[in-house]
Amino acid sequence: AAQDAAKGEAVFKQCMTCHRADKNMVGPALAGVVGRKAGTAAGFSYSPLNHHSGEAGLVWTQDNIITYLADPNAFLKKFLTDKGHADQAVGATKMTFKLANEQQRKDVAAYLATLK
């Protein structure tokens, strides 16, 4: 189905255990994350896996966030491996949360795009 940012706002309540739009908490601030280079929220201390993905060219889009949220570790390791950095595709992201429901992933990605 199409993406629904209003439904995504409700899904985002699950993210708020760790994230806010405008400040770092357990997770980095997510305002402006769509279009942002991975691993670059000011003042947040990222895992090497997340940091290296940004250095290797990962820029967050709605599409790649939809894939990432299903399995953040698998997504980041595949990204680095595909970019020729298999040596960096080790360790674990600090983002331990997964969102299995694809419609919820689509909706929350649309909501994230509204956070400027």
* Cα–Cα nearest to 49, from 87, 100, 20: 87
d(CA 9, CA 78): 28
**89 contacts ligand HEM (rule: CB under 6 A):** no
- Give the nearest distance from C-beta 108 to ligand HEM in angstroms: 5
- Contact with ligand HEM (CB under 6 A) among 50, 56, 79, 106: 50
Roughly what angle, to the nearest 10 degrees, separates helices 72-82 and 48-55? 40
Interacting residues with ligand HEM between 96 and 115 (CB under 6 A)? 96-97, 99, 108
Rounded CA gap, 23 and 100, in Å? 26
Residues of the shown chain interacting with ligand HEM in the complex, contacts defined by CB under 6 A: 14-15, 17-19, 26-28, 33, 38-39, 41, 46-47, 49-50, 60, 65, 69, 93-97, 99, 108
